[in-house]
Amino acid sequence: MTKEDSMKSVLSKDGTRIAFDSYGSGTPVILVAGAFSFRKFKTLLELSELLAPRFTVINYDRRGRGDSGDKAPYAVEREIEDLAALIQEIGGEAHVWGLSSGATLVLRAAVRRLPITKMALYEPPFLIDRDGHLPPVDFELRLKEMIAANQRNRAIRYFLVDGMGAPFLVPYLLRCMPGPWKDLSAVAHTLPYDAAVLGDTICGKPPVAHAWTSPIPALVMSGSKSPAALQKGARAIAQVLPNARHISLQGQNHNVSMKALAPVLAEFLAA
């Protein structure tokens, strides 16, 4: 096991302090978490340690989470600036991996021409089929209202079920696990941020090439046991990116095993 360095931080363009840990040595790789995740999340710690023998792994708290600061009003541009500040701090360029909404954030950063050398994306939730589940048109607004009213539990249920289409029993099952539910509740106020990052990618329209133009080499991954909509969306974005390929990880779903992911990710990044 690779021992992490003590926590570090960097100031983003707007003065927000972004906390991160660094593992290992080698070419830098930044991990961008999805909704509900933060840098002390078990799976992110596991992935950091699995990649550390070959890379310098930067595992950070997105703004508003963990030890990172936050400033109102929120804008997706601020999160792109956070990522830019991290890249600058660690040498001026980096590989970047993103999970779910974090993968969509990486894509938006790539379009803005951040100095990303390679990007690996696991199931950016492009919902492109109007016949499938789609979030309500006022998804982000409703989340903001719930958080403003301090209705964190309601916001979690709304995000998972109404937003992402999870079975309605999932939040109830999660509430039976006090530790995990406590972790979800701690970052529930950032759910509107994830909704904003996703934006028009979850409105039932296929991605168009001119909106996602980036020459950065990309690997788009999905799980063979994930919902069909997520698999379809991953293939669709891989097809419109000019320098990308898609692979399916057999036996995996949206809660991907880091032991299954890490070898595939390391092979792509090291090539």
Residue-wise pLDDT for 67-78, tens only, equals 999 999 999 999
Three-class SS state of 253: coil
pLDDT tens-digit map of 212-245: 989 999 999 999 999 999 999 999 999 999 999 9
- The amino acid at 66: G
pLDDT of residue 2: 43
Give the three-class secondary structure for 147.
helix
| Helix H or strand E segment including 28 | strand 27-32
Q: Which residues contact 271 (CB under 8 A, 6 or more apart)?
A: none
Cross-strand pairs, 59: 21, 31
Q: 42-51 and 258-270 are packed helices; what angle lies between their axes, rounded to 10 degrees? A: 40
Q: Read off the pTM.
A: 0.96
Least confident of 16-30, 46-60, 171-185, 191-205: 171-185
Q: What percent of the chain clears pLDDT 90, i.e. is strictly above it?
A: 89
Render pLDDT for 105-146 as a digit per residue (tens, 0 to 9).
Answer: 999 999 999 999 999 999 999 999 988 899 999 999 999 999
Average model confidence (pLDDT) across the chain: 95
Tell me the domains of the chain and their CATH numbers.
8-130+206-270 (3.40.50.1820), 139-197 (no CATH)
**Pair 74, 196: CB distance under 8 Å:** yes
